[in-house]
Chain A
C-alpha cells in the first residue's frame, strides 16, 4: 500500500516567478498528511516561495488563503487540515489592499 498521495497545487500568478513560472504542480505528499506537510514539500528548495506563503513562525500569512477542494482551510483545521489523495489545493491571495 502506497504511503504517498498525489495532489495538485494551483499557484497564483504573483507567486509563479518563485516556482519556475508554473501555474500548477503535481506533488506527492504523505497519506494522511496535512497542509503544513504539503507546504513543507512545496517549499523544499524554494525558500522564497515558502516565505511568501508562511511567516517565520510557521503561520499562514494573513492575506494568503488555501483551499482544499474548494474549502478554506481556515474554516477547517488551519494548517493541520488533512490533505486527501487526489485533492486540488488552491493557494490564492485574499481580498486586501487600498
Chain B
C-alpha cells in the first residue's frame, strides 16, 4: 500500500479550516469547519517523533493573527498564553499574518519555523509552543528596501536544509535570502532571477519570488516559481537558471518538489501577471522529472474550464512512498492525486478561497 495509515489533508481557507481524511486517498471525509470566519493562510502538520501536531496560522479581521496547535487531529486547539509570535514593544511592528509554518528536519525534532507579515522569520525550539524573532533577518540592512506584493510584505517560504545549517527564505518582495549559519546572518541569493518590474531587471535583491522548494535528495538544488519566471538552482541559490521552456506560461504561485526523488517538481501555471487565470481557462498541473529540462502536463480529473487561481501555499505533497499531490483553488475546490499528479479527484468544492493545504500520513 502506498500510503499506510490515514492521510490527513488540512485545508486553510479565507473563512475557516477544514480537515479531510482518507485511508485510500481516493474517498475523503471532510470535517465541519474550524475557526469559521477566520482566514487560515498557513497550516502545518508535524509528524516527527511519533506525534502528530497540527498548526493553524489564524487571522481574524477584527481580532488579529495568532498561531494555534492541536495534538488530537483538530478536535481541540491550544494557543500559548505567552511567548507566541508577537513582536516586542521595542520592535515598532505588529504581526499581521502568519504565511508559513514549517517543521524542520527529522534531526531537529523540536524546531518549527514560521514566516510572517511584516517580513520576518520566527523559530521555535519547543515544537511550536513559543517562538523567537530571527534578529538576523529582522535587523538586515536591506529590510527598509523590501517591498510589498499585493498580498502584503511577507516572508512566505522558509526552507531549512536537512543536511546542514543552511536555511533559505523567500519573500515578496525581496527575493531569496540564504543563511549558512542557521539563521544568524543572511545574504541575498537571486543571481539569474529576473525582476522585470524594476528599473534594473537584475538587482541583487528585490525580486518577487512566489515560492521556492528544495530537492529532497540533493539539498543544494532548489526550484523557484517567480513573478514571471520558473527557475532552478544547483548550487544552493548562488545562481539560478530558467526552466520555463516547455510550460504554457511562466507565471504562477506554486512550486512543489517530490518528497523522495531528485529532480521532480510540479507547477500550476497561470497565464500572466495581468491575467491570473489558468492559460486559456484550462487548469493543468505540469511536472518535470529532469529538473526542468522537460515538462509533462496533466489535466486528468480536472475541470475543462477553470478561471480561478491557485495560490502559493494552496498546494502540497504528502510523504507517502508514492506521494500524493494536492491543491485548492480560489474558487474553493480542492483536488487530490494519489499517483504523483497524473490523475486528480475532487476532495471538496464550494469552500471559501483556498489559501493553504498540507497533507501527511498519520497513524490510524
Q: How large is the interface on A (under 10, 10 to 19, 20 to 34, 35 or more residues)?
A: 10 to 19
Chain A residues contacting B61 (CB-CB under 8 Å) are: 63, 96-97
CB distance from B267 to the nearest CB of A (A): 29
> In chain A, what residue has the closest Cβ to B95?
A56
Is B89 interfacial (CB-CB < 8 Å)?
Answer: yes
CB distance from B52 to the nearest CB of A (A): 24
Q: What is the number of residues of chain B that contact chain A, defined by CB distance less than 8 Å?
A: 19
Is A47 interfacial (CB-CB < 8 Å)?
Answer: yes
Is A93 interfacial (CB-CB < 8 Å)?
Answer: yes
B82 x A51 contact (CB < 8 A): no
Chain B residues contacting A2 (CB-CB under 8 Å) are: none
With A47-B81, A48-B79, A48-B81 as contacts: A57 and B62 at CB distance below 8 Å: no
Contact check: which of A52, A58, A96 meets B64 at CB < 8 Å? A52
> In chain A, what residue has the closest Cβ to B94?
A55
A14 x B62 contact (CB < 8 A): yes
B63 x A58 contact (CB < 8 A): no
B63 x A57 contact (CB < 8 A): no
Q: Would you give 23 A-B contacts (Cβ < 8 Å), ordered by A?
A: A14-B62, A14-B63, A47-B82, A48-B66, A48-B79, A51-B64, A51-B66, A52-B62, A52-B63, A55-B95, A56-B87, A56-B88, A56-B91, A56-B95, A57-B87, A57-B89, A57-B92, A61-B62, A63-B62, A93-B63, A96-B61, A96-B62, A97-B37
Q: Which 5 A-B pairs have the closest CB atoms?
A: A52-B63, A55-B94, A93-B62, A56-B87, A63-B62
